[in-house]
């Protein structure tokens, strides 16, 4: 029998327990655990990369669009491009 994937997850247990006993129950130890478990998740959510709107256009019948995702340059590639731009 297959259960829910996160049902026995230790991180799920810690998140739930820290909310109930720490935030709502006032237990300081569980509050500290909650900060350690929830902190990185919230920081990533609020300070992570945000979606960026490039363009909006209405398509007419018969028109099509092509979407491409470009991988970001590595640090080495960026430095090489900066060197080339500075030279010329």
What's the rounded mean pLDDT across residues 49-60? 85
Q: Where are the alpha helices (DSSP H) in the chain?
A: 10-17, 28-47, 75-87
Contacts of 33 (CB under 8 A, 6+ apart): 14, 17, 18, 22
Confidence of residue 81 (pLDDT cuts 50, 70, 90): very high
Where are the chain's structural domains? 8-46
CA distance 62 to 24: 57
Give which of 53, 34, 51, 31 is closest to 42, Cα–Cα.
34
- The whole model's pTM is what? 0.46
Residue 36 has pLDDT above 90, yes or no: yes
What's the rounded mean pLDDT across residues 42-71? 87
Tokens matching residue 67: 């979407």
Give which of 34, 1, 3 is closest to 17, Cα–Cα.
34
pLDDT at 6: 61
């Amino acid at each position: 029998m297959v259960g829910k994937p996160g049902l026995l997850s230790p991180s799920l247990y810690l998140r739930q327990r820290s909310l109930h006993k720490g935030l709502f129950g006032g237990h300081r130890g569980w509050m500290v655990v909650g900060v350690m478990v929830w902190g990185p998740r919230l920081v990533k959510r609020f300070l992570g990369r945000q979606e960026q709107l490039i363009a909006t256009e209405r398509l007419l019948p018969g028109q099509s669009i092509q979407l491409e995702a470009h991988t970001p340059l590595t640090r080495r590639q960026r430095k090489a491009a900066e060197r080339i731009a500075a030279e010329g």
